Structure 1
Amino acid sequence: MKEKRESFTIQALSGSIWNFFALIFQRAGALIFTIIIARFLLPEGFGLYNLILSIALTFTVLSERGINESLIRYLSETLEKKAKARNFFKYILKLKLVILISFLVILGIAAYPLSVYFFKKPVIFIPLLFAILYVFVFSLDSFFSSYFFAAKKVKYVAQKETLYQILRIVLILGVFYVIRPTSPLSHIFVALTFASLITLIFVIANVYKYSPYLFEKSDKIKEFDKKRINNFISYFTITSISFVILGNIDTIMLGYFIDSAESIGLYRAAFTLSSSIAGLLGFGTVLLPLFIKMKDKQLQRAFNRVFRYTMIVAVPISFGLAILGNYFLTFIFGVEYIDAKWPLYVLAFLIILGVQVSLFVYLFLTKERPKDYLSLLIGVIILDIILNFIFIKIFLNYSTNLVITGVALASLISWLVYSIGIGIMSRTRLNIKVNGYVIIKPLIAAIVMSLAILYIKSNVNVGIINGIILILVGAVIYFASLFILKALRKEDLYLIKDVIKLLR
C-alpha cells in the first residue's frame, strides 16, 4: 500500500513538474508580454486593454472550463478503448464549437452597446471585435491542448506554451517597433490571433501524431454516455459562469464606476503579478486523470498529500510577495505602476486561497459532482458584488488608490469564504476529510521569514542584487524553520529526488 501511495505521489509530482514547466513558460511569457504592453500603453492604455480582455474572456471561459475539463475527464477514462474515445472526442468537440460560437456571436452583437453605453468608452469597440476573433482561436487551442493532460503527455503542453509565448512576444514587439500605430489596441489582438493560430496548428498536428484515430469517422455516442457528459458539462458550465463572474467582476465594476482607465491598469498590474504566481501552482489538470482511478480512502490520502505539499510552497510565496511586492512592481512594470502596491498587499494572499479552491474544485470534478458547490459559489459571487459596491462607494470619496485596495479586499474576503465553504463541502458531500492543520506550520515559518526580511530591509538598501540575496535568505530561513517545526521530513526530500530521476 505504501508503494502504491509513493507511486501515485511520484506520478502526480512528475506530471506536476511538467505542468509546472508549462506554467513557467506560460506565466513567464505572459509576464514578459504584459510588461511590454504595460510599459508601452502606460496605466490608462493598459487599463483599456485589460477591460477589453476581461469582457472577451468573461464570454469565452463559459465555453472553456466545462468543455475542456469534460474532455480531460472522459478521454482519460477511455483512451485505451479507441472507438469509445473517438466518440467522446467528436461529441465534446461538437459541443465546444456550438457553445463557443454562440457566446461569441452574442458578444459581437453586444460589443457596441457595451462599449458606448455601459462602459462609456467608445474607443474599445473596434479592439473588442478583434478580441472576439482572438479568443475563438485561443479557445480551440485550449481544447485540443486538453488532450495532452488526458493522455498524460504534459510535456507537449510545455512545448506548445514555449512556441506561443515566443510568437506573441515577437509579434507584439513588431507592433510597437515596426508598425508603431497611434492606437495599438486592435493591432495587439491581431498579433495575438496569429500567434494562437500557429500554435493551434502545432497542437492539432501532435494530437494527430499520437492518436490519429480520434479524427476518423465516429459512431453515434450512446445515450447513457451522452447524458453523463451533458450533465457534467451543464453543471460545470453553470459553475464556470459563476467562477468567471467572480474572477472578473472587480475589473468590470471598476470600469463602470471609475472614469479613468488608469486605476484599472494599476489594479490589473497587481492582479496579474499575484495570479501569475498562483498559476504556477495549479496542478489540477494533472491530478484529475490520476484521481479518477482512485477509491475514497486512497483518494483522501492522495489529496491530503498534494494539499500539504502545495501549501508548503504557496504560503511563503504569498508572504514574500506582500513584503517585496513594491520592488517587483517597480522592476517589472516601471515606476508608473508603484501605486499598484496597495492592492498587491492584499491580493498577494489570494495565492493561498486560489490554490486551495482549485484543488477542491478538481476533487469535485473527480466525482462528477460540480453541481454540489454551485450554491456556495453563487453566494460568494453575491457577497463579492455587495462588498465591491460598498467599498467602491465608500472609498470613492477619498482616493482611487483606496478604491482599488478596497476592491482587492472584497476579493480576498470572498475567496476566503469560498475556500472555507468548499473545504467543508468536501467533507459533508464527498466524505473526503482534509487536514487543514497542515497549513499552520508553514504559516509560522512564513511569519518568521517575513520578520527576518523586514528586519534586513530596514537596515539594507534593496537593489537588484541585494533583492535576489534577500529572497534566497528568506527561502533558507523558511525551510530551516520548517525542519525545526518538523513540517518537512527527510522522506519528502527523497521523494523529490525520485521525481527528478523519473524525469531524466
Structure 2
Amino acid sequence: MSSTSTSLNSKIFSGVIWNVIQMVVNKSFAFVIKLVLARILLPEDFGVVGMAIVFISFIEVLNDVGIGAALIQRREEELRSAHFHTAFWTGVIWSVVIYLIISFIGGPLAAQFYDEPILSNLVPVLSLGVLSSPINLVHKAQLTRSMDFKKIALITNSSVIFSGVLSLILAFTGFGVWALVFNSVTTIIVAMPLYFKSTGWMPKLIWEREAFKDVFGFGIYTTGTKLANNFSNKIDYLIIGKLLSASALGVYTLAFVLTDTLKSQITTVLGNVMYPVYGKKQDDPKSIKKYFLFLIKYNSVVVYPIMVVFIILGEPIITDFFGEKWLDTVIPLKILSVSIIFTMMTNSVSALIRGLGYPSLEFKIQTFKAIFLYVPLIYVGILAYGVEGAAYAVLINKVFFVIISQYFLKKLIGITYFDLFFCLKVPVTAFSITMLFSYLLYDVLYVNYYIIIVFILILYSGLIYILDKDELKNLMKKVKSSKTIK
C-alpha cells in the first residue's frame, strides 16, 4: 500500500473516531434534552415549533448557496485564498437578505397559513441562526477539507451542550415553547467564536468575481438539490400542520426525530468523512466503489439494531419515556423504522454523485423524486390515513428511491444489485434473526422490554461477529496499521 493511500486511510480512521464521538455525545445529550422537554411540554408545543421550522427551512436552505460544498469538493490546486474570502462575504451579505425575508415575510405568512399568531414572533427568533451560519461556513469547510474532524466534534458538542442546558433552564422556569426555540438557535450562535479560534482564519476585504463564479457555478446545483430535498423532507410537516393539527404534527415530529433524524446523525459519521474522500478520489472509480459499499454496509450494521428496538418495542418506549400523551406516535414510529431499512441501501448516494463532480445530476434526481414521487404520495397518504398515511408514504418513497439510485450507481461506478445485496447480506441476516427472536420474547413470552433491549444488542452484535469475523479482524488490522502512521 502506498504511503499516500495509507495516510488517507489514517485520516479516514481518525475522522470516523471523532465523528463517532461527536455523534454519541451530541445525540445522547440531545436525546436526554428532548426526553425532559417532552415530559414538561405538550405535543402542541413541538408541533408549533415544527410549523415554524418548515417555513424557515424553505428559505434557509438558500443560505450558503452551495458554497460550502464547493469549497470542500474542489481539488487543492483549484483553490486560492480569494475563494475563501469571497465565499465568506458572499455568505454574510446573502444571509442578511435571507433573514429579512424570513422575518418580515415568512413569519406573518406562517402565522396566517396555520392560523397560529405566535408564529409571527417565533419565526424571526428561530431564524437568528441564518445570520451566524454563513460566518461558520468557511471555517467548517477548511476543517473538513483537512479532515480535522476532531475540532469539528469539539465545537459541535460544546455548542450542543450549552444550548441544551439553556433550554432546560427555560423549560423549568416556565418559558414553554420558547425553550425549544432557543435550543435550536443557540447551537449555531455559540459555535461561531469556536470556529474562528479553531482555524485562526480571519476574513479580509477581498471579493473576486472570478472566484465567485467558480464556487457559485458548482454551488448553484447543490443549492437546488438542497431545496428539492428540503421540499421532500418538509412537505409532510407542511400538509400535516395545515390539514390536521399542531398536536398531530408534534406526534409525527417525535416519530421522525427518533428514526430518520437519528439515522441521519449516525450515518453522517461516515458520510462527513467520505465526502472529501470522494472529491480526492474522483478519478479513481474502483476505489470510490469500494469506499461506497463499505459506507453502506457499516452504516447499516450500526443502524439496523436501533430499528429492531423501535419496531418491536415502540409502544413501551414511547409510553414510558415520553408519557401516554405521545401514544399516537407508536404506529408512525414503527412504519418509519421499516423505511429506514430501505434508506440504508441508498444512503450517501447524493454525496457520492456530488463528490464525483456531478451536482447537476444530483439536482435532477432529487427534483424528480420530490415532484413525481414524494409529494403525491404524502398528500394522498395524509388525506386518507392522517399521520400514519404520511409514514406509509415515506416508506413507499424510500422503496422507489432504491430503484432509481441503483440505476445511477451502476452507470457511474458500476455497482450492481448483486454488489448491493452482497455487501448487505451480513447486517440483513443479523437484522432478520434478531427481529424474529425479539418478537417471540415480547409478543409471545411477554419478557420485560428492558431485558429484550439488552438481548437485541447482544444477539445482533454476536451475529455480526460470527457472520463477518474474518472481515472484522482484517479491518481491525488495517485500523491498527493506520494508527501507526505519523
Matches within 5 A, 1:408-447: 408-428=391-411, 430-433=412-415, 435-437=419-421, 438-447=423-432
Letter in 2 for 1:293: K
* 1:46 Cα deviation from its structure 2 partner: 1.4
Deviations 1:293-323 (A, max 9, x none): 2222222233233333333333343333322
CA contact under 8 A between 1:127 and 1:185: conserved in structure 2? Answer: no
In structure 2, C-alpha distance between the alignment counterparts of 1:433 and 1:422, rounded to whole Å? 10
* 1:494 Cα deviation from its structure 2 partner: 3.1
Instruction: Identify unmatched segments of 5+ residues in structure 2.
Output: none
1:399 match = none
1:319 match = 308
Q: Structure 1's 447 and 3: CA in aligned 2 closer, same or farther, altered over 3 A?
A: farther
1:375 match = 364
2:475 match = 492
Overall identity of the aligned pairs, in %: 21
Letter in 2 for 1:199: A
2:198 match = 206
Matches within 5 A, 1:62-461: 62-64=62-64, 66-74=66-74, 77-78=75-76, 84-138=79-133, 140-141=135-136, 144-178=139-173, 180-181=174-175, 184-186=176-178, 188-190=180-182, 192-208=184-200, 212=201, 215-216=203-204, 218=206, 220=208, 223=210, 226-258=212-244, 260-274=245-259, 275-282=261-268, 283-294=270-281, 295-382=284-371, 383-395=373-385, 403-428=386-411, 430-433=412-415, 435-437=419-421, 438-457=423-442, 458-461=444-447
Q: Structure 1's 3 and 449: CA in aligned 2 closer, same or farther, altered over 3 A?
A: farther
Letter in 1 for 2:68: N
Q: Structure 1's 319 and 143: CA in aligned 2 closer, same or farther, altered over 3 A?
A: farther
Q: Structure 1's 431 and 281: CA in aligned 2 closer, same or farther, altered over 3 A?
A: closer
CA contact under 8 A between 1:278 and 1:355: conserved in structure 2? Answer: no
* 1:10 Cα deviation from its structure 2 partner: 4.6
1:48 match = 48
1:470 and 2:455 correspond: yes
Q: Structure 1's 116 and 191: CA in aligned 2 closer, same or farther, altered over 3 A?
A: closer
CA contact under 8 A between 1:44 and 1:262: conserved in structure 2? Answer: yes
CA contact under 8 A between 1:134 and 1:196: conserved in structure 2? Answer: yes
Letter in 1 for 2:280: K
1:398 match = none
CA contact under 8 A between 1:44 and 1:261: conserved in structure 2? Answer: yes
The root-mean-square deviation of aligned C-alpha atoms, in Å, is 2.9
* 1:227 Cα deviation from its structure 2 partner: 3.6
CA contact under 8 A between 2:427 and 2:464: conserved in structure 1? Answer: no
Deviations 1:92-130 (A, max 9, x none): 222322433333322223234423331122222211121
Deviations 1:192-250 (A, max 9, x none): 54453232111111121xxx4x53565746x3x54432221111111110011111111
What SS is found at the alignment partner of 1:268?
Answer: helix
Equivalent pairs, count = 477
Q: Structure 1's 187 and 431: CA in aligned 2 closer, same or farther, altered over 3 A?
A: closer
1:38 and 2:38 correspond: yes
Could you tell which deviates more after superposition, 441-450 or 312-321?
312-321
Letter in 2 for 1:285: N
CA contact under 8 A between 2:22 and 2:154: conserved in structure 1? Answer: yes
In structure 2, C-alpha distance between the alignment counterparts of 1:460 and 1:496, rounded to whole Å? 42
Could you tell which deviates more after superposition, 433-442 or 39-48?
433-442
TM-score normalized by structure 1? Answer: 0.85
CA contact under 8 A between 1:329 and 1:338: conserved in structure 2? Answer: yes
CA contact under 8 A between 2:21 and 2:153: conserved in structure 1? Answer: yes
* 1:290 Cα deviation from its structure 2 partner: 1.9
Letter in 1 for 2:111: V
Q: Structure 1's 350 and 502: CA in aligned 2 closer, same or farther, altered over 3 A?
A: farther
* 1:355 Cα deviation from its structure 2 partner: 4.6
Letter in 2 for 1:69: A
Letter in 2 for 1:110: I
4+ long deviations beyond 6 Å = 2-6
TM-score normalized by structure 2? Answer: 0.88
Letter in 2 for 1:236: T
Q: Structure 1's 130 and 43: CA in aligned 2 closer, same or farther, altered over 3 A?
A: same
Letter in 2 for 1:324: L
In structure 1, C-alpha distance between the alignment counterparts of 2:190 and 2:135, rounded to whole Å? 12
What SS is found at the alignment partner of 1:62?
Answer: coil
In structure 1, C-alpha distance between the alignment counterparts of 2:197 and 2:111, rounded to whole Å? 41
In structure 2, C-alpha distance between the alignment counterparts of 1:141 and 1:220, rounded to whole Å? 20
CA contact under 8 A between 1:450 and 1:474: conserved in structure 2? Answer: no
CA contact under 8 A between 1:250 and 1:388: conserved in structure 2? Answer: yes
* 1:470 Cα deviation from its structure 2 partner: 2.2
What SS is found at the alignment partner of 1:63?
Answer: coil
